[in-house]
Amino acid sequence: MSVLDGIMIDLSIVLGSAEVPIKQILQMSRGAMIPLDCGQDDPSLIYVNGELVAMGRILVDEDQMSIEVSEIVRKQQH
């Protein structure tokens, strides 16, 4: 057992973003689509504890989704 096994992190994968008025959200019905600010070939962003750490590509295999890391983001030195 590794000392790292019990450490929890918050991992977020961001496909894209959109600014949508709350009024529009409240009027949406099932199946409504929200256009994102990216294309299907743009990398997804991988955040750990709110900090961007990598970029990758979403892979879909039947009902299973995963992300393939394509680039590690270097931390900015101040």
How far is it, in rounded angstroms, from Cα 62 to Cα 76?
38
- What is the overall mean pLDDT for the chain? 92
Q: Read off the pTM.
A: 0.76
In a domain? residue 40: yes
Classify residue 20: in a domain, yes or no: yes
Does 3 fall in a domain? no
pLDDT at 4: 87
Q: Is the residue at 68 inside a domain? A: yes
Residue 4 lies in a domain: no
Domain that holds residue 33: 11-72
Assign residue 61 the CATH number of its domain: 2.30.330.10
Residue 10 burial by CB count (10 A; 0-12/13-18/19+): exposed, middle or buried?
Answer: exposed
Counting the structural domains of the chain, the total is: 1
Contact 46, 55 (CB under 8 A): yes
pLDDT at 41: 87
| pLDDT at 69 > cutoff 80 | yes
In a domain, 78, yes or no: no
**Residue pLDDT, tens place only, 11-43:** 999 999 999 999 999 999 999 999 999 988 899
- CA angle at 17 for the pair 13 and 22, rounded to the nearest 5°: 125
